Amino acid sequence: MNRADAVALHFQKAAELTVAKKNYQEHLTELFLWMVKADAVTDDITSKTLSLMGKSTTQIVSKQGGMIAGIEELAELLTKHTKLTFSSLINDGERVAKETLIAEVIGENTEILAYERTILNILGRMSGIAMATAELAAFIHDVPNTPAVAAIRKTPMMMLDKKAVAVGGGVTHRLNLSDSILIKDNHLGMLQKELGLATSEQAALEAVKRCMQSAENYFEIEVDTLHQANTILHAFVSENAKQKQPKIMTILLDNFQLEDAEKFVLSLKTLPVYESILIEASGEIAADNIVAWAKTGVDVVSLGAITHSAKVFNFSMRY
pLDDT, residue 9, reads: 95
CB neighbour burial string for 132-141, b if at least 16 within 10 angstroms, e if fewer: bbbbbbebbe
pLDDT, residue 48, reads: 86
Residue 2 lies in a domain: no
Give yes or no: residues 194 and 84 share one domain. Answer: no
Give yes or no: residues 116 and 149 share one domain. Answer: no
pLDDT band at 264 (very low <50, low <70, confident <90, very high): very high
Give yes or no: residues 211 and 163 share one domain. Answer: yes
Q: d(Cα 213, Cα 206) in Å, to the nearest integer? A: 11
Mean pLDDT of 287-302: 96
Residue 5 lies in a domain: no
Give yes or no: residues 155 and 295 share one domain. Answer: yes
Whole-model pTM: value is: 0.94
Q: What is the pLDDT of residues 14-73, one digit of tens each?
A: 999 999 999 999 999 999 999 999 999 989 899 889 988 899 999 999 999 999 999 999
Q: d(Cα 71, Cα 65) in Å, to the nearest integer? A: 16
How far from 234 is each of 73, 208, 231, CA to CA, in Å?
45, 10, 5
Residue pair 35/118 in contact (Cβ under 8 Å)? The answer is yes
Give yes or no: residues 145 and 287 share one domain. Answer: yes
Give yes or no: residues 101 and 166 share one domain. Answer: no
Q: What are the residue ranges of helices labelled H in 197-225?
A: 200-213
Residue 167 lies in a domain: yes
pLDDT, residue 146, reads: 96
Give yes or no: residues 43 and 187 share one domain. Answer: no
Give yes or no: residues 126 and 149 share one domain. Answer: no
Residue 39 lies in a domain: yes
Q: What is the pLDDT of residues 183-192, one digit of tens each?
A: 999 999 999 9
Total domains, the chain: 2
Domain of residue 231, residue span: 137-308
Give yes or no: residues 26 and 120 share one domain. Answer: yes
Largest CA distance in the chain: 75
Q: d(Cα 31, Cα 36) in Å, to the nearest integer? A: 9
Give yes or no: residues 182 and 277 share one domain. Answer: yes
Give yes or no: residues 121 and 185 share one domain. Answer: no
Q: What is the pLDDT of residues 153-163, one digit of tens each?
A: 889 899 999 99
Q: d(Cα 248, Cα 273) in Å, to the nearest integer? A: 10
**pLDDT value at 108 more than 90:** yes
pLDDT, residue 53, reads: 87
Share of the chain above pLDDT 90, in %: 88
Mean pLDDT of 82-91: 97
CATH number for the domain spanning 54: value is 3.90.1170.20
